[in-house]
Chain A
Amino acid sequence: MSENGKRKVKVSVNGLTKKFGDLLVLDDISFTVAEGELLCIVGPTGCGKTTFLNLLSRLIPPTRGNIMIDGEEADPKKHNISFVFQEPSCMPWRTVKENIAYGMEVKKVPRDELESRLKKIMDLVGLSDSADLYPNQISSSMEQRVAIARAFAVNPDLLLMDEPYGQLDVKLRYYLEDELVRIWRELKSTVIFVTHNIEEAVYLAERILVLSNKPTTVKAEVPVGLPRPRDFRDPEFVEIRKRVTDLIKWW
């Protein structure tokens, strides 16, 4: 399935560099993401994964280099970018349904289009029965699903996910990982999924970018061509997981 050569380039990152004062965090990073690709980025804690996503979504400016989406400089006002944050991001004053609708409201999606997309996405993530509940009435895994539903609802050109399942227990994580793959296949979005969990990356990714320690560069690129649904015990799966683990252990 690694057919990146044939697929259209969605995102291209060129010579991206970020310094905080004297601290060089990202050092001259370049790569491309194909349209509709599910790319995982793994790297040790503190290597700059969150910083990298913040740059991609223009929350902070790069020191050098640029990020192009469809050949244009990335811009949240122009491009359809969604970000699922590491921290819970449900607004407590909005119901589940209103939280999911937020991104579409900002994008000024017409009312009836918004309603029909809401219905579809809530069915997809299994939140239809909880539509009118408030965040303090639902579990943290449901909150994370709200964030994911909100992110997918805008039909993003680029979906950024920052260790979205880091805080959840293993069982829920497995469940939500499957859910992510299902939604991604159905909606054909381009996804960059950041994690420090290697197994999660091998389970999800079409391709894995392995980052080094600070100052961070792309250490290696590992295509994952396994068929889905994937099995953690499949020898090929274990083999790829070992390869990525060794890459991270290298230093």
Chain B
Amino acid sequence: MSDKPSSGNSKVLKILPYLSLLTVLAVWELIVDTGLVPNTLLATPAQVLKLFIYKLNHADPDGAVLIVHVLTSVGEALTGYILALLIGIPLGLLMGWFVVAEGLVRPIFEMIRPIPPVAWIPLAIFWFGIGLTGKAFIIWASGIVPCVINSFVGVRMTNPVYIRMARTYGASDWEIFRKICIPSALPMVFGGLQVALAASWTALVAAELIAADAGLGFLITMGRRLLMPDMIVLGMIMVGLTGVAIGIIIDRVEKRLVAGMRR
């Protein structure tokens, strides 16, 4: 007996996802073509595909070719994300082990944490304008929260036997932190990377919808302003695809790092 949910012909199972995707696309195409939904409200898949090909090498009507929008968004996202990791992970780790760090940082962190990162957008525009810095700030603010929490919890979950063992050999607090707490927390920290990425990407698109002159969120906004439903849908699809692509890359990097440490 298999422990899978239910068995079936494996060849049929392989085509099923494509079949369902095709069905959705066909239905989508049909409801617009037959006029069930007016074309001014929803673009057909064919129109989106056409625009996609057009936008590969045309800057009009929104001002930049598609790859520029993608790279702008990715650049902003990675800047904020990496800053969130660089500050959030060490901070969370230190807070997990050193009571002084926790005592100092935790009240501030708890005060800021309930504020949704997108609520920072107006202030960020105020401070940094609509360029990369403002967006990086928003992403940093959304990405840092899971980084801090996961690193903190990871250290706190360190098996106390390892800590007692280290102490009986005479290890100092700092040595225990470096050699016991950090390696023990790493799986949790890596778990946080994906959560932080998802949070960052969401916040980025929200920020670009409101204030930008390039980027995928900006493409969507332009589609609305220019009354081009195909551009809105194209922007949405690109946001999804790019997000998935970054996720896969991070996953790969993470797997390689973890494999280097333990099998």
Residues of A within 8 A of B (CB): 54, 57-59, 75-78, 81-83, 85, 87-89, 91-94, 102-103, 105-107, 134, 137, 154, 160
Contacts and interface: CB of A to CB of B under 8 A. Distances in A.
B65 interface: no
Interface in B173-188: 175, 179-180, 183-184, 186
B71 interface: no
A237 to B, nearest CB: 33
Contacts of B261: 93
Nearest to B261: A93
Q: Which 3 residue pairs spanning A and B have beta carbons closest together?
A: A83-B168, A106-B169, A76-B170
Given A87-B161, A91-B162, A93-B186, A81 B168 contact: yes
Contact of A106 (B171, B262, B263): B171
A85 B161 contact: yes
User: Binding site of B, secondary structure by majority: helix, strand, loop or mixed?
Assistant: helix
A154 B175 CA distance: 17
A76 B165 contact: no
Contacts of B164: 54, 59, 83, 85
Interface of B: 161-162, 164-171, 175, 179-180, 183-184, 186, 261-263
Contact of B170 (A92, A94, A107): A107
Contact of A82 (B161, B169, B184, B262): B169
B180 A154 contact: no
B169 A76 contact: yes
Given A59-B164, A85-B161, 6 more contacts: A59-B167, A75-B170, A76-B169, A92-B262, A102-B169, A105-B179
B180 A91 contact: yes
A104 B171 CA distance: 11
